[in-house]
Structure 1
Amino acid sequence: MEEAPDSIGFYEALNTYGLAWFVADQPDSARMAAGRVLTFAAQQEPSDRIHLLTAMSYNSMGNCYGLTRQQDSALYCFMLALHYYELTSEREKAPDVCINIADMHMRKGDFANSAFYYRKALSISDSLGMTDQTGFPVYTGLGQLYMELRDFDLSDHYFRLAENQYKRQTLNEQFFYCNTRGNYYFFKEEYGNALPWFEKGKALVVPGGYRFSENLVNVNLGEIYFHLDKPDSVRYYLDKAHAYFSAINEQTFLYHIGTIRAGMALKDNDPRLARRYLQNSAATGIEPSLTGIRNKYIQDYFARTGDFKQAYSYLLKNRAMDDSIRSERTMMRIAEIDMRYGQDTTLMKKEMLIQTQASNIRSLRMRSFVWVTVSLLIVAMAVIVSLVMKKQKDLQSMIFHDQMTKLKLSNIRNRISPHFVFNVLNREISSAEDAGHSHLKGLVMLLRRSLELTAQTYVTLAQELEFARAYISLEQESLGDGFRLEWHIDPHIDTTAVFVPPMIIQIPVENAIKHALRQKEGEKRLSVRVENEGNGFRILIQDNGPGYSPGKRDPSAGTGTGLKVLYQSIDLFNHKNKEKILFRILRSDEEGLGGTKVSVYIPNNYKFENV
């Protein structure tokens, strides 16, 4: 509303704001909002949107008048709302307005017109296929209508139809049902059955602070307890309701509270107090059922005071009112409306069935032709897709095997670097007096094992550990006396039964020795750990060198080809597996060790075979 002060959208929002005021028991504010919208709409060119805005405003204003018992004004607004809804494309709003019109006619005691508009709401709903949405308030209204006509069997029938849809309704509709169902049992004089329905209705509205609805139920509870001979409960509920309705000057409910209190005074054999309550008849627009209840107490009052002539006159008034409400003419008209609705509904369903069958026959041939065409197209597309997918698969396979070949060649080149071989040979030549030449023998073994492993795409953990041990053994002398090596292999891991990518340990170990430990002064520590973790195992290679620094590169550090090959191998393996190998190089500061930590996590059941 703040962002669009002069647009239709502003007034559409204002309508919603007015609805919020209405629900919050502020009908005057809601009516003022609807009046502002109507003033705006009257100044605009007619259009579907303006008609809809006008219809919503008149409906909102009618609800406000209905809440304050101004039935004639409410009917006037509802009839205008129905007129404007019928000018729009949104006919699905019309049943709700018809229900409102029917409710107002019922309050005025015009049961024939009430039945007509309830049936009209059902007829429009049937034609739009939305009876499931509007059926509940219509069935509840018809249940109330036949309750007023004292046709309790038919009333109960409609109440049960509504009860089947009760759980899908809004809080307001559920409250209306509970209150009306309680009134049904009240007029049947089954006060014990009425009580739980009123209590259920009150439990719905109390948490939300709907005070008007809450005190409406308080009046009904006071009347039930009056008939159940519980005077303390009667006074409790009537006092609460009287305080609220006096504050908002709601004369209709004050009128009825006075009626019940007059009945209490008569029960207590206090005709003078009863007369004081019964003399207050200033309210207008009182529903016939409430007037009838008061007339009975007035009749009882005159009988108790010995004025039998007046008592008899009120008896005749009530009989005349009952005869008017439930006259033969009214009953016949309502029955006629019911019959016409049934006939219209049957004819409409037959016509819809005929049209549906004709449409099915016309579309049968077309569907057959379409299905044949679609089937041929599907077969052709399936063949084309199959050929394309096969070609793509073959191409991917070629690319994959080409990558693996390159990696295997890189593996061969990087498994044992020439620089490393020359260093070992130089040491052996310079120490020729050592007859054993144990390092030279180890180098030969390492070269032979390297050639065996490089042709494989994966190796056992035991093979990789053996290779790394042999490599460290050959390099150990060059690291000096300050070198400390730690091995920790979890005894629960069968190293001969689990597999790893080639060089997954050897390359990080080689990097640790070459780039972290060889130039380091003092103690040089290297740790290799293999541990179970979660649904896999983790390999940790850690040194106490200067530490890993991404982006900082030593010109003498080499090309980094070994790590590149390792990363590419892991990417290829991960492409074939749902759970991935996780390879990370971190700067390690734990326990003051410093240096670099290489962490490799390999899930159990990792698949290498397809590669």
Structure 2
Amino acid sequence: MKRVLIKGQVVWILSFVIALLACCAEGEKREEVSEQDAFQAFFASHSDSISVAPRWMRAEALRRMNEAEDSLVKYNYLSLTLKTYLMTSQIDSAWLVLHHIQHFAARQPFSPQVADLQSECLNMAGNLFARTGVMDSAKKAFQSAYEYRLKGTRIADVPDILMNLADACNRLGELDLGASWYRKALLLCDSLELPSTKRTPIYYGLAQVYVALRDFDQCDYYYNLAGQEYERMLPYEKYIYLNNRGTSYYYRGDCQTAMSYFRKLVELTGGYPDMMFEQNLGKLNLSDCFLQLQQPDSAARYMDECRPFFQKIGMTTALYYLDTQAIAQALLQKEFGEARRVLSHSVTPPDIDPDMVHIRNKYLQQFYEETGNYKQAYYYQKNNLRLDDSIRNERVRMHTADLALRYQQDSTLLAHRVMIRETENEVLRLRQAHLIVACMAVLAFLVAVFLYLYNKKKRALMLVENRRMVSSLRLENIRNRLSPHFIFNVLNQEMLSRKQETEQKELASLVKLMRRNLELAEQLCVTLEEELDFVKTYIDLERRSLGDNFFPVIQIAPDVHPSLVFLPSMLIQIPVENAVKHALRGKEGERRLWIDICRRDSGEVSIQITDNGGGYRPNSLHRGTGTGMKVVMQTIQILNAKNKQALDVEVHNVVLPSGETGCQVSFLLPVKYDYRL
């Protein structure tokens, strides 16, 4: 028995220890999840600071990294500092941090969160390779980043990686693949329902593809789409937009327009000290424009300002471009010795863009012509002609490949093409055999189609005319029903309440009311000023029967101009008449009526007629026949049928501040509502 008891105690103690360890592990897991959530929240709310205030972002990320206990969260914060180093053009520091993160990620077991971190590292590695001009490595890094991101949790970041991959393909001359990746990014943005600002970089990326293909119509189409979001762009996105759009005008030969964009770029980046790379690239482009405009002194100023920066970061493509400009400047100033000096020190990078080689060859041809070395001049002329043919053929090939990739995924269009091709072949065979018969058949078919379309159009016009006449008759019928109904209500009320001869003023008001009612019955719409004048006349006539306890209030907001607002005639009068007749006349105590007119933020005019008569009661003895409101609803229904925005009507009971129940009729008049049939 003792052994059994001891064994039971041991089992109980072990169970307690296991439960305690499980609780600790669960607590650590909750803490880990909490730290990960904190990182995601921080990144979501401060991601813009990476480009706007990179140094502050770096300091804050390092502080949070030191406070975090989870190692994966620590390295996520460190990845943010990596982005800030890229934004401040501290390439060496960026490489150092990148290798540190990659070493950590390689030692971790696979998980979606680790895949996100690896994708982030590879994406930044691609950006660093691109910044230093090693585009083959950049493309490979972006492709790996894309594959890892698909295994992670932040799928919404996939379009950004695809844009980087497309940029790398463009710089490698693979324009068709670049356009394909851009379009895939657009498709992802649509399927993930991402905000329109996510599409902006894709638009100007596609525009840059068509600049390279010299298809400036498509280029301007996508730049205009991107420009619609300019004010909401981040500074770095504004830089890319301005730089690329200026480049598009440079290639068209419109250097003045190109300079306007490059000047705006330099002005923009001047406000952000960390955008030194972008600012110097803008100056490099400006100097080229000045050279094209035969202004070597202005060009020299910008060349001298940006050369030390590109020498410092070792960007060989930019230095090659600067040397080309220096040669052009020397030729403009007839300083051939300086041109020879630049040529003797200039180095041609292996991955230089063909357009830059073409520009260099043009200046070299000019240099050798002016120095009398016609053999060398002919050599560079021949090279440029061969390069022109090569570039032209490559553009044609790329343009064709782009079209093929655009339509390759559309199986419906492909099937349609096959059907058209088969039909064309059949038509060709028929033409070869029976040319005359085919022509007559085509002519007969065209005549039949013309007659069919003509009759169809004629029937459609007749249908529209009939609908217009029906709508007009319906409105006329409604008005004819409304006018006598209202006049008889007023006259009956006057006869019941009149015990002696009224004063001339009251008779004049009654005559005015009847005459105005007849005028309104003939009008489909009136101004708010005319409608309120009619309503005030009616209220003045009813004051005598309702007594001193009747308090009507008409409030018009200052931004509403009654003479400029139109509405269906008697839209306010009928609810006011219903309120007086069916709600306030038999009420004890104070009888209150409010007419509130205001304008909403969207521009729509709101009209509310409220009373304190106890609210709408369908079973009330005083509820009336409902003819007036029925006419209002029918009128609005007919007008709404031909307008895109509807004139809204609401009738409901409300609890007033005094505690009483009242009925409220609300109308919402849309902007630019059409009252014509």
TM range, smaller chain: 0.5 to 0.7
Mapping of residues 117-516 of structure 1, within 5 Å? 117-130=181-194, 132-209=196-273, 210-279=275-344, 280-327=346-393, 328-340=396-408
Give secondary structure in 2 for the equivalent of 1:2: helix
CA distance in 2, matches of 1:131, 1:73: 31
Give secondary structure in 2 for the equivalent of 1:229: coil
CA distance in 2, matches of 1:68, 1:156: 29
Asked if the contact 1:219/1:237 (under 8 Å) is kept, the reply is yes
After superposing on structure 2, the runs of 4+ consecutive aligned residues of structure 1 that deviate more than 6 Å are 341-347
How far is 1:48 from its partner?
Answer: 0.6
User: Relative to structure 2, which stretch is displaced further, 257-266 or 279-288?
Assistant: 279-288
Unpaired segments ≥5 residues, structure 1: 348-575, 578-611
Asked if the contact 2:284/2:322 (under 8 Å) is kept, the reply is yes
CA distance in 2, matches of 1:178, 1:253: 18
Give secondary structure in 1 for the equivalent of 2:351: coil
2:127 aligned residue (63, 67, 70): 63
Give secondary structure in 2 for the equivalent of 1:286: coil
Amino acid at match of 2:386: A
Give secondary structure in 1 for the equivalent of 2:199: helix
How far is 1:187 from its partner?
Answer: 0.9
Unpaired segments ≥5 residues, structure 2: 1-64, 416-656, 659-677
1:95 aligned residue (138, 153, 159): 159
Cα deviation per residue 1:193-228 (whole Å; 9 max; x = unaligned)?
111101111111111112111111111111111122
Cα deviation per residue 1:476-529 (whole Å; 9 max; x = unaligned)?
xxxxxxxxxxxxxxxxxxxxxxxxxxxxxxxxxxxxxxxxxxxxxxxxxxxxxx
Asked if the contact 2:203/2:222 (under 8 Å) is kept, the reply is yes
CA distance in 2, matches of 1:77, 1:332: 27
Q: 1:141 to 1:341 in 2, by over 3 A?
A: farther
CA distance in 2, matches of 1:324, 1:82: 32
Amino acid at match of 1:218: K
Q: 1:312 to 1:339 in 2, by over 3 A?
A: farther
Asked if the contact 2:166/2:182 (under 8 Å) is kept, the reply is yes
User: Relative to structure 2, which stretch is displaced further, 27-36 or 92-101?
Assistant: 27-36
Amino acid at match of 1:261: A
2:143 aligned residue (71, 74, 79): 79
Amino acid at match of 2:217: D
Cα deviation per residue 1:65-95 (whole Å; 9 max; x = unaligned)?
1111111121121111011011124322111
CA distance in 1, matches of 2:193, 2:409: 16
Q: CA RMSD in A?
A: 2.4
Cα deviation per residue 1:357-387 (whole Å; 9 max; x = unaligned)?
xxxxxxxxxxxxxxxxxxxxxxxxxxxxxxx
CA distance in 1, matches of 2:408, 2:197: 22
How does the TM-score come out when normalised to structure 2? 0.49
CA distance in 2, matches of 1:265, 1:325: 28
Cα deviation per residue 1:259-306 (whole Å; 9 max; x = unaligned)?
011011112223332233234124343222222211211122222233
- Quote the residue 1:36 is aligned against: 100
Asked if the contact 1:149/1:325 (under 8 Å) is kept, the reply is no
CA distance in 2, matches of 1:278, 1:301: 11
How far is 1:236 from its partner?
Answer: 0.9
- Quote the residue 1:471 is aligned against: none
User: Relative to structure 2, which stretch is displaced further, 269-278 or 207-216?
Assistant: 269-278
How far is 1:341 from its partner?
Answer: 6.2
CA distance in 2, matches of 1:204, 1:151: 28
Q: 1:315 to 1:112 in 2, by over 3 A?
A: farther
2:81 aligned residue (10, 13, 17): 17
How far is 1:315 from its partner?
Answer: 2.9
Asked if the contact 2:239/2:268 (under 8 Å) is kept, the reply is yes
Asked if the contact 2:113/2:153 (under 8 Å) is kept, the reply is no
Amino acid at match of 2:406: D
CA distance in 2, matches of 1:341, 1:122: 14
Q: 1:318 to 1:186 in 2, by over 3 A?
A: same
User: Relative to structure 2, which stretch is displaced further, 56-65 or 25-34?
Assistant: 25-34
Cα deviation per residue 1:301-336 (whole Å; 9 max; x = unaligned)?
222233334333323333433443442322210111
How far is 1:50 from its partner?
Answer: 0.6
Amino acid at match of 1:334: D
How far is 1:5 from its partner?
Answer: 6.1
Amino acid at match of 2:403: A
CA distance in 2, matches of 1:307, 1:232: 27
Asked if the contact 1:25/1:211 (under 8 Å) is kept, the reply is yes
Mapping of residues 577-588 of structure 1, within 5 Å? none
Give secondary structure in 1 for the equivalent of 2:67: coil
CA distance in 1, matches of 2:127, 2:106: 21
CA distance in 2, matches of 1:298, 1:5: 62
Q: 1:275 to 1:113 in 2, by over 3 A?
A: farther
Asked if the contact 1:205/1:213 (under 8 Å) is kept, the reply is yes
Amino acid at match of 2:302: Y
CA distance in 2, matches of 1:305, 1:151: 37
CA distance in 2, matches of 1:320, 1:129: 47
Amino acid at match of 1:292: H
CA distance in 1, matches of 2:237, 2:368: 41
Number of residues paired by the alignment?
349
Asked if the contact 2:197/2:232 (under 8 Å) is kept, the reply is no
CA distance in 1, matches of 2:237, 2:325: 27
Amino acid at match of 1:315: Q
Amino acid at match of 2:269: V
How does the TM-score come out when normalised to structure 1? 0.54
1:50 pairs with 2:114: yes
CA distance in 1, matches of 2:250, 2:410: 30
CA distance in 1, matches of 2:271, 2:368: 44
Q: 1:152 to 1:89 in 2, by over 3 A?
A: same
1:27 pairs with 2:95: no
CA distance in 1, matches of 2:391, 2:287: 26
CA distance in 2, matches of 1:344, 1:27: 48
